[in-house]
Amino acid sequence: MIVLGWFLFQVVLAALPVGRVISGLPVRGSQKLKYRCNGSIALVLSLVAMAVGHAYFKVNLAVVHTLWLQLISAATVLSLVLSVVLYIQARKAKPSAVAPEATGNILVDFWVGRELNPRIRTFDWKLFMIRFAYLSMLAVDVIFLVEAYTGKSGMSNYPFLLVAGVQVLHCAVQVLNEDMFLTMPDITKMGLGFMFIYGFMLAGPFGSSIQARYLLEHPQTPPLWALASVALLNLFGFILYQSTVSQNARFTRNPYDPTLSHLESMPTSVPGERLLVSGMWGMCRHPLYFAELVLIYAWSLACGFSTPLVYVFPVLMTLLCMDSVRKEEAEASKKYGSTWDRCCQRVKYKLIPFVY
């Protein structure tokens, strides 16, 4: 009931007829969809609801910590149910609304998603799932911070405070700037299937916050130089990710944006599209994934090396990013042809500068 209640609460907040309505990028059929971006309102109301519930109604927020495995099981069941419902709905979708990876095979379409942008007017299920992941992760970290504050030594557990604090800040910034998601492949190219739903239902609140949970349960006392190094890496990862997402959103919407005039780009045969080859995109061809990995590994390094558990999620994300890079490279080569070949000659690394 906890997972279902939180999920329905977020659905209600996302459906509120308040906040900005923003046009996305052209999807199949050159149509621009409208998106209701009221993440800031959802963020504030979610925190208020948690605070009021804890202070006035004596809601035990720590149950999220104690019932961790049960909540994962509930989220898995909810992901399956939602995936089935959306798949049945997608069977009625127009051909122009079908996702590029859909094949007509039931199992494949259920996994990758048959419909590209399932929605109810301006309520978009994909944008909602991305926001749900960040808000859920933020809520879990806030609960951990409250638990640490009321504990005996939680506020002197500096590695935990670092990781939980950076994660809360990271999630809040993403939700407040959710319109930037509209230019990402998750929204523009991927279908909404079980892979997408389960990934965002589990990765945010449970996968990404596993480092904070571990540090809360197993306080670490690293030397000052180690703590400072990890803090700098977290800061670097945070700035790199925010800068890359912002730069990508602005350039994708308008390659001739005056604020990006200092960046070099290549013209393509596709009208209105250019390829960045400098700035973040001068380091590697997929800096969004690289920045995300830097941030995730920074959280894990704060835990030290006493258990491999905290590195499972970063390794899985690395493999996922490598697979995404492979698919996007093949698509770009087909779409841009010789221009993409010149881009690859100019920017030699795919994902990790000087490594891969």
Whole-number pLDDT of residue 190: 86
For residue 25, is it left (φ>0), alpha (ψ between -120 and 50) or beta?
Answer: beta
Whole-number pLDDT of residue 150: 83
Element (H, E) at 314: helix 312-336
Instruction: Indicate the DSSP class of residue 100.
Output: T
Supply 249's token pair.
Answer: 């959103």
Which three-class secondary structure state does DSSP give residue 263?
Answer: coil
At a CB cut-off of 8 Å and minimum separation 6, what does 183 contact? 24, 25, 248, 249, 252, 253
Whole-number pLDDT of residue 94: 83
Distance CA 356, CA 344 (A): 12
Which three-class secondary structure state does DSSP give residue 290?
Answer: helix
pLDDT below 50 — which residues of the chain? none
Whole-number pLDDT of residue 168: 96
Ramachandran angles phi, psi of 13, nearest 5°: -65, -40
Whole-number pLDDT of residue 175: 96
Rounding to the nearest 10 degrees, give the CA dihedral for residues 87, 209, 287, 249: 60
Give helix 287-301 / helix 224-253 axis angle, nearest 10°. 160
Whole-number pLDDT of residue 26: 78
Supply 350's token pair.
Answer: 């795919």
Instruction: Indicate the DSSP class of residue 115.
Output: B
Terminus-to-terminus CA distance in the chain, angstroms?
44
Give the tens place of pLDDT for each residue, 8-62. Answer: 999 999 999 998 998 888 776 567 888 999 999 999 999 999 999 988 888 888 8
Give the tens place of pLDDT for each residue, 247-264. Answer: 988 988 888 888 888 889
- How many CA atoms does the CB half-sphere of 320 hold within 13 Å? 13
